[in-house]
Structures are given as C-alpha cells and as structure tokens.
Amino acid sequence: MTEMSFDSSFAYTEEPLESAAALERRLRAIGAARYHDLHPFHDMLHGGRLDLGQVQAWALNRWYYQSSIPIKDAVVLSRFRDRETRMEWRHRIEDHDGSPGDEGGLDRWLALTTGLGLDEGYVTSARGILPATRFAVDAYVSFVGTRSPLEAIASSLTELFAPNLHERRISGMLAHYDFVHPGIMTYFQRRLGQAPRDAGFALDYVKTHARTPEARALVCEALIFKTDVLWVQLDALYHAYVTGHPPPGAFRPEGAA
C-alpha cells in the first residue's frame, strides 16, 4: 500500500550498488547497524536483568511472530511460478509446522512458553499480545504478498544475523535464570543449524537475481523493513513491561501491579 524509501540519513557505507559483492557488503552493514541484537531489551533478556513476568511477556508476544512464519513462508512460496524455488522454499514451512509425530519449531516454542509457566491455550489464542506485535507481524505477512518476489525473499535475510544472537541467548538465559533449562531452549538450539542454510539460499538468490543498482536498493530496503519489524516488537515489550505501560487488554504478569 505504501512506498518506502531507503533511509539515507542513516550512516551506511555509501558505496554504490554496482555489483553483487557490493550488495552483500551493504546488507551486512545494515545488519550491523539495525539488527535487533542491538536492542536494549535483548541486553536485559540475555544478561539476566528481566524477571519471570517480563520473560513470559517476551515469549508470549514472540509466539505470534513464530506462528506467523509458516504462513509468511506459504505466501512467499505462492509468489513463484518457478517450481524449483517453490521446492527449495517448502522445507521452511515444515521446519516450523513439523509433521504428525515429528515436532516442529512451533512445538519447540510452546515448550518454551509452557516451561515459563504460560498456559498453552492462552498463548496460542494470542489474546494477550501487544497490538504493536500484531501490527508488525501482519505487516511482514502483507509485505511478502504485495511486494515483488525478490523483495519477499530479501525480507528473510535477517536470518544471516540470527545464529550469533541465538548463541548468546542460549548461554545467557541458561546462565542467568533459574526458571530456564536446556529442555525449553531447543528452539534456538535447532535454529543454529537451520538458519544458516536458509540465509545462504536467500543471499545467493538476491545476489543472482538483483541485477541492477535499483533492484539491489529494493533488496536493501526489504531488509531494512524487516529489521523494523523485529525492532518494533522489542520497543513495544520495553515500553509495556520495562517502562511499565502495558496497553489496555494486554497480558499482565501475575503479581504485577
């Protein structure tokens, strides 16, 4: 519906996007400047500075993101007439949804929320999530359905930066919280193997298929959009549960004011 423009006020390298190599350098610079590993909520989460209710709020809201990913990936898959790309993309849906008798990422996320003491029915209803979470996640699903197939794939490129974040999350949360144990952190453990494969495919795809500086700029804007989708979710958690302004109708941790 809306146009976005590359935000030139933000200090990336200004190298022109004349080649696939220049595109990759720009993408990595965007990640270094805007990926949500830089967000102060993550510092608090990984450094043991949140209480159980705040970690619950994070896991509850993130459920809505996680549970929308196979939907998002189905929309991406639907954009390709080319059967090879569809076949390549298909495993992402399976990774998250699993199969009968074979757990997927969503089961592993529910192991986390249940392990943190949240009722599974409440979590999957998404009734208590922050409206900002819903709007950001829905914007992501909408983006991949309305932008070009190239931009749809490019918006997945945050996966390039996920493994480092997940490693810090696993070690930090296990070290700092007595309510966290390895059995509820399997989602992140498993993604350490899955994300690099997915990110590698997407990076090769955009490097091959974005053949002009204009197309490469759209790839960069798609990644910026996606970093915004992730950042907004943490800003909303911080405002609601660190600053202490949960909006009407949102989850309130037990024992909170």
Asked if 164 touches a second copy (CB under 8 A), the answer is: no
Among 208, 63, 233, 222, CA closest to 142: 222
Q: Which of 44, 93, 150, 232 binds a second copy (CB under 8 A)?
A: 232
| Cα–Cα distance, 175 to 193 (Å, whole number) | 22
**Strand ranges in the chain using DSSP code E only, listed in sequence order:** none
Cα 104 to the chain's mean position, in Å? 17
Other CB atoms within a 10 A radius of the CB of residue 20 amount to 17
Query: In the complex, what is the shortest distance from the CB of residue 245 to a second copy, in angstroms, rounded to a whole number?
Result: 7
The size of the interface with a second copy (CB under 8 A), counted in residues, is: 40
Q: Are 36 and 223 in contact (CB under 8 A)?
A: no
Round the CA-based radius of gyration of the chain to a whole number and report it. 18
Does residue 257 belong to the site contacting a second copy (CB under 8 A)?
no
229 touches a second copy (CB under 8 A) = yes
Residues 55 to 84 in contact with a second copy, rule: CB under 8 A = 68, 71
Stretch that binds a second copy, among 20-28, 100-108, 119-127, 151-159 (CB under 8 A): 119-127
SS3 58: helix
- Separation of first and last alpha carbons in the chain: 40
The answer to the question of residue 255 lying near a second copy (CB under 8 A) is no
Among 138, 171, 179, 197, binds a second copy (CB under 8 A): 138
Binding site for a second copy (CB under 8 A): 1-2, 5, 7, 9-10, 33-34, 40, 68, 71, 125-128, 131-132, 134-136, 138-139, 141-142, 224, 227-229, 231-232, 235-236, 238-240, 243, 245, 247-249
